[in-house]
Structure 1
Amino acid sequence: MIGPVLRADETVLRANIAAVTARVDPAVLMMVVKDDGYGLGAAWSARVAVAAGVGWIGTYDIPTAVRLRAEVGAGPRLFAWVTSEDAEIDAALRAGIDLGVGTRDYLTRVIARASALGARARIHLKVDTGLHRNGLSAEEWDEAVGFSLRAQALGQAELAGAWSHLAEASDEEDDLAQARFLAAVRRARDFGAELPYVHLTASAATWARPELRGSLVRVGAFCYGVRSADGPELPGIVPAAELTATVLGIDGDEVVAGIGSFDGLPSTLGGRVQVGTPAGPRTLRSVQLDTVRVAAWDGAAVGDEVVLFGRGGSGESSPTTLAEEIGTVGEEILCRLTAHVRREYR
C-alpha cells in the first residue's frame, strides 16, 4: 500500500513567520513547536524559525526542549512550561532552558535542583488569571515572587518573566484576564522584580488585539498557516504543508487513493469537503481504513496525486476548512497525522 506524504515547505513557513513578526512588532515572537511542530516536525520547524531570525522557541515539555537545544545551538531561548519531574528539571538546567513555573511546589523543586547543580534557573512565573490551567493564585503570588527574588540574590535563579494563557472565549473575559495579569506584574515589580519578558496572549488574541500583547508573544498555529476555526483569513498566512495521496485505481465514478493504515484523516469528512486533483477540486466521497475515495475526473490514472489538504493550488481545502466541517480545529487535522505518514521537506 502506498502511503500518504505530508510535504512541508520552508519558504512558506518563513513567509508566515515574517507575517506574524511584522504583525506583533514591537513585541518579540516566541514560535511554539508543541505537538511535534503541529505535525510538521519540531526539529525542522525550530531550525527554520531560528534561521529566519526567531530568537525564542516554545515547547510544551522539557524533553522536547532539550532535544531542540541540540538542533538549534546555544543562542536561541527555549521555553518549556509543563510541570516536570526532578530528572527533567536537571536536564533543562544543564541545557539552559527557560522554565514556566505555575505552582509553589514546582518553584521550590526548580530552585532546589538549581542549588544542587550549582546552576541558575531562568524562571517565568505563571499567573492564574481565571482559566485555572495551572498558575499561581493572587494569594500565592507575593510569596512566589519573594522566594524567586531571594533565590536570584543567591545566584540560583533569574526571574526572567511572567506569563499566562487566555481562554479567548470573549473579549470581555480576555480583558478581565489581562487586568488580573497586569496587576500581578505590577505587584512583582513593586517587590523589585524586573520581569523583562511578559507574555499573556494566545495566537488569535495576539493577532487581533495589540493591546493584549506584552514584550513577548507566543504564537503557534498561525506560524504554520492554521487559522482559528470560524475565524477570518489572515493576511500573509497560508498552510505550510500539504497532505497528498497516490491514486491506486479507478472504480467506476470514483478514484481510489492510498492513505495507509493510520490514525489520520477523520472518516467524518467523507462527502463534506473538496480535495485537489490534476483536474481541480473533486468531492471526497469517503475515508476508509487505508484508502480514500474521490469523485473521478476525465483522464484519471493510477499514479496521479490527490491533495487532501493544503494551500488550495489544486482546489483542495485548508486544514482549518476541513476542521470546520466536522466541528473541530485545524490543529487537530495536522496533529492526528502519525509517524506512519512520511514527511518531506522542501
Structure 2
Amino acid sequence: MTELRIDLARLRANVRAVAERVAPAALLVVVKDDAYGHGVEPVVAAALDERVSWFGAIDVPSAARAKAAAGERARVFCWATLPEEAVAGALDAGLELGVGDAGYLERVARIASGRGAAAPVHLKIDTGLHRNGVRPEEWPSFTARAAALERDGAIRVVGLWSHISEASDAEDDLSRAVFEEAGRVALDAGLRPDVRHLAASAAAWHRPAFRGDLVRIGAFCYGVRSAGDDDIPGVAPAASLVADVVGIGAEGVEIGVGWLDGVFSTLAGRIEVGTPAGARTLLDVAETTSTVASWPGAAVGDKVVVFGPGTTGEWTPTSVGEAAGTVGEEPLLRLSPLIPRVHVD
C-alpha cells in the first residue's frame, strides 16, 4: 500500500518554530490545494493547537474548509479573483477576500450590498511582481473609491497586502518602499485596515523589516524549504511518501508507486529513497510501480520512503523537487488524491 504519512507532531513543531521566528507579526498558515496535500482539517487543527489565528488559500474550497474547521477561532483570507457566482459563496463561508482590481472591487461591493452585510476585503497594491494588484499610479483613486464604498456599508477594508518576487534583496526593498507608500495613501483616504501583509516564507524568515502585522507562510510550515535555503532551524518535512515493496527482481526492488501516482518519471537515477537498509537509488519510474536498487534481505511488504524528512536515507521534498527542476512544493502537490493521507501523532 502507498500512503502519504503526515506527522502532526512535526507539523505543530514547524508551525511553532515559524510563529516564534516571525513574532510579533501574526502567522497566517497557507492551506491552499488541500493544505499542500496534507489535508486541510488536520492541518488547521494542529495549527490551532499552536494558537494560530489566521489561515489563507488562493482556492475557495480549501479556504472554506479551513474556515469551517476553525470557526470563530481564526480568520481566513482567500486571494483568488472570483467570478460573480463564487463571491457570494465565499462571503457566506465567512472568508475575507483579496481585491486587486477596480472592477472586482465593484463586483464584491455590489454583491455584498445585495446580501446586506459588508464584505471584508484586503486591498492589493502591485509592488512590481505584476501578479495582479492595482498599479501605484491608480492606487489613490482606487483607495478613495474603497473608502466611499466602506462609508456606504458595502465593504470593510480589513487589510492591505501584496506579493514580492524574492528575486533579490534590492528588488524586494523597492517593492517594500512601494508598499509602505501605498499604506500612507490608504490612510490619507480614510482607510484603517487591521493588518498589512507583504511577506511569504523566505522574506518573512530572513528579513524582519518585511513582516509587518501578518506574514503568509505555507511551505515552511510543512517543512519545505526554499531552493538553496538550508538555514531554517526547527523546521523539517512533516510528510513522507511511503510505498510497499511489491516485487523482487533481477534489476532491483519494485515498489507500488509510479508516475500515474504523481512521482516524476525524470527522477529515475537522480535521487535516493529510504529503505530498511538505508539510502538506495531510485532506478526507474513506471506507470504504477518504480524500481529501487536492491539491498540484502529485501522482501515483499518492506516499506520504502520515496521522500520525507531523511531519517531512513530518503531525500526531502525540496531536494526531490530540485532534482526534477522544480520547487519543493511540487512533489507534494503532484501526488494523486487517491493516495491515502494517514495522519499520525
Q: TM-score range by the shorter chain?
A: over 0.9
| AA partner of residue 213 (structure 1) | R
| AA partner of residue 255 (structure 1) | V
- Whether the 8 Å CA contact 1:323–1:333 is kept in 2: the answer is yes
Q: CA RMSD in A?
A: 1.3
- Please report how far the alpha carbon of residue 151 of structure 1 lies from its aligned counterpart in structure 2 after TM superposition: 2.1
Are residue 7 (structure 1) and residue 5 (structure 2) matched? yes
Q: Secondary structure at the match of 1:345?
A: strand
Percent identity of paired positions between Structure 1 and Structure 2 = 50
Are residue 245 (structure 1) and residue 243 (structure 2) matched? yes
Q: TM-score scaled to structure 1, two decimals?
A: 0.96
- Whether the 8 Å CA contact 1:230–1:324 is kept in 2: the answer is no
| AA partner of residue 309 (structure 1) | F
Quote the Cα distance in structure 2 between the aligned partners of 1:285 and 1:320: 19
- Please report how far the alpha carbon of residue 322 of structure 1 lies from its aligned counterpart in structure 2 after TM superposition: 1.0
Are residue 320 (structure 1) and residue 318 (structure 2) matched? yes
Quote the Cα distance in structure 2 between the aligned partners of 1:62 and 1:258: 33
- Whether the 8 Å CA contact 1:66–1:91 is kept in 2: the answer is no
Change (3 A) 1:314 1:340: same
Aligned length: 344
Which runs of no fewer than 5 residues in structure 1 stay unpaired? none
Q: Secondary structure at the match of 1:249?
A: strand
Q: Which residue of 2 aligns with 1:21?
A: 19
Are residue 342 (structure 1) and residue 337 (structure 2) matched? no
Q: Which residue of 2 aligns with 1:224?
A: 222
Cα deviation digits, residues 176-229 of structure 1 (max 9, x gap): 111111111111112222222000112111111111111010000000000011
Quote the Cα distance in structure 2 between the aligned partners of 1:203 and 1:161: 19
Which runs of no fewer than 5 residues in structure 2 stay unpaired? none
Where does 1:110-129 land on structure 2 (aligned, <5 Å)? 110-129=108-127
Q: Secondary structure at the match of 2:227?
A: coil
- Whether the 8 Å CA contact 2:258–2:285 is kept in 1: the answer is no
Q: TM-score scaled to structure 2, two decimals?
A: 0.96
Q: Secondary structure at the match of 2:126?
A: coil
Quote the Cα distance in structure 2 between the aligned partners of 1:38 and 1:303: 28
Q: Secondary structure at the match of 2:260?
A: coil
- Whether the 8 Å CA contact 2:31–2:66 is kept in 1: the answer is no
| AA partner of residue 289 (structure 2) | T
Cα deviation digits, residues 255-306 of structure 1 (max 9, x gap): 1111166241101111111110111111111111111111111111110000
Tell me whether 243-252 or 87-96 shows the greater mean CA deviation.
Answer: 87-96
Tell me whether 141-150 or 10-19 shows the greater mean CA deviation.
Answer: 141-150
- 2:60 is aligned, of 44, 59, 62, to 62
Q: Which residue of 1 aligns with 2:157?
A: 159
- Whether the 8 Å CA contact 1:62–1:89 is kept in 2: the answer is no
Q: Which residue of 2 aligns with 1:132?
A: 130
- Whether the 8 Å CA contact 2:257–2:288 is kept in 1: the answer is yes
| AA partner of residue 344 (structure 1) | V
Moved over 6 A (4+): none
| AA partner of residue 127 (structure 1) | I
Q: Secondary structure at the match of 2:73?
A: coil
Are residue 182 (structure 1) and residue 173 (structure 2) matched? no
Quote the Cα distance in structure 2 between the aligned partners of 1:32 and 1:65: 9
